[in-house]
């Protein structure tokens, strides 16, 4: 199924994975709404890519904010797809630290809110909009959503309790989301990336990145945001992939630390 002329909402669209996805989908002929909080980056990206891309300041935890992004998607054309790729917050705490003190509950709540609650919020609001459209395949498909988990959702490392719980929640949401939305013809799939060379990871420097790469069987390097974007496009276009979590990790399995 071609994305040409369709509209895709990308949360976190000004960030590493999101920006690569915006570029890839726009190259594939889609119109794209960049839903993010990074105004300078989002506006600059939209200006660079032209009239088929729009930026909307979006808080994924705020219904009115998400609705405004969805409204903009409707203005661009036939809104059918969403890629949920936002990030930006996380805590590194063991459940109980060396001094015997428990981890902060606020850090756990904020992490779960952003990655899990925010994902669910965009999924439910986007799917409700897509449900109002007529099917565009003989099977009755109306649209599709790609969510983002992490291999930490399967084998979280020490100190990743909050992040692993949030991403594990996205993994658990995938199949039941696909089942819930089957009646309206909306597919739901998830990408679980390993260690990806995003701008945030670049802060570790080449020496640090090589250490990360040493733990990856093959290819012995960090993943590229563009590889995530290609997979996201495929999951939107392939109408028989539904309810799946696809690991994109070079066969990496996180060790305890």
Structure tokens at 222: 């960090």
Q: Is residue 253 part of a domain?
A: no
Q: Is residue 256 part of a domain?
A: no
1 inside domain: no
Question: Which residues are known catalytic residues?
Answer: 163
223 domain-assigned: yes
Which whole-number Å values give the CA distances from 125 to 17, 76, 81, 228, in the listed order?
22, 18, 12, 24
Does 20 reside within a domain? yes
Number of compact structural domains in the chain: 1
Q: What is the pLDDT of residue 205?
A: 86
Residue 187 located in a structural domain = yes
Cα(19)–Cα(200) distance, integer angstroms = 13
Please report, for the domain that includes residue 46, its CATH number. 3.40.50.720
Report the alpha-carbon distance of residue 111 to residue 118 in Å, rounded.
Answer: 10
Whether the CB-CB separation of 66 and 118 falls below 8 Å is answered with no
Report if residue 254 sits inside a domain: no
Instruction: From first to last of the 257 residues of the chain, give the pLDDT tens digit.
Output: 789 999 999 999 999 999 999 999 999 999 999 999 999 999 999 999 999 999 999 999 999 999 999 999 999 999 999 999 999 877 899 999 999 999 999 999 999 999 999 999 999 999 999 999 999 999 999 999 999 999 999 999 999 999 999 999 999 999 999 999 999 999 999 999 999 998 777 778 888 888 889 999 999 999 999 999 999 999 999 999 999 999 999 999 999 98
**What is the model's pLDDT at position 202?**
74
Segments forming the whole domain that contains residue 120: 6-248
β-sheet bridge partners, residue 246:
191
- Would the CA dihedral through 150, 153, 159, 161 be positive or negative? positive
Q: What is the pLDDT of residue 24?
A: 98
pLDDT of residue 200: 78
Distance CA 86, CA 10 (A): 8
Looking at residue 100, the DSSP 8-state letter turns out to be S
Task: Return the pLDDT at 199.
Answer: 78
């Amino acid at each position: 199924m071609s994305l040409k002329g369709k509209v895709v909402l990308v949360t976190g669209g000004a960030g590493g994975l999101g920006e690569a996805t915006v570029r890839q989908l726009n190259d594939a002929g889609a119109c794209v709404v960049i839903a993010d909080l990074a105004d300078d980056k989002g506006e600059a990206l939209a200006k660079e890519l032209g009239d088929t891309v729009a930026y909307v300041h979006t808080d994924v935890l705020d219904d009115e904010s998400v609705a405004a992004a969805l409204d903009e998607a409707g203005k661009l054309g036939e809104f059918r797809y969403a890629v949920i790729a936002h990030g930006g917050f996380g805590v590194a705490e063991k459940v109980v630290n060396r001094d015997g003190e428990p981890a902060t509950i606020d850090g756990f709540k904020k992490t779960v809110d952003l990655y899990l609650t925010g994902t669910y919020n965009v999924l439910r609001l986007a799917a409700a909009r897509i449900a109002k459209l007529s099917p565009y395949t003989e099977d009755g498909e109306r649209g599709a959503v790609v969510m983002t988990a992490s291999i930490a959702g399967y084998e979280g490392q020490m100190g990743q309790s909050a992040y692993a719980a949030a991403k594990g929640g996205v993994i658990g949401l995938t199949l039941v989301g696909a089942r819930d939305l089957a009646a309206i013809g909306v597919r739901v799939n998830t990408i679980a990336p390993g260690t990806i060379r995003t701008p945030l990871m670049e802060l570790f420097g080449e020496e640090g990145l090589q250490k990360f790469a040493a733990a990856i069987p093959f290819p012995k390097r960090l993943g590229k945001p563009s590889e995530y974007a290609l997979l996201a496009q495929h999951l939107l276009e392939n109408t028989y992939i539904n309810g799946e979590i696809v690991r994109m990790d070079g066969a990496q399995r996180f060790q305890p630390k």
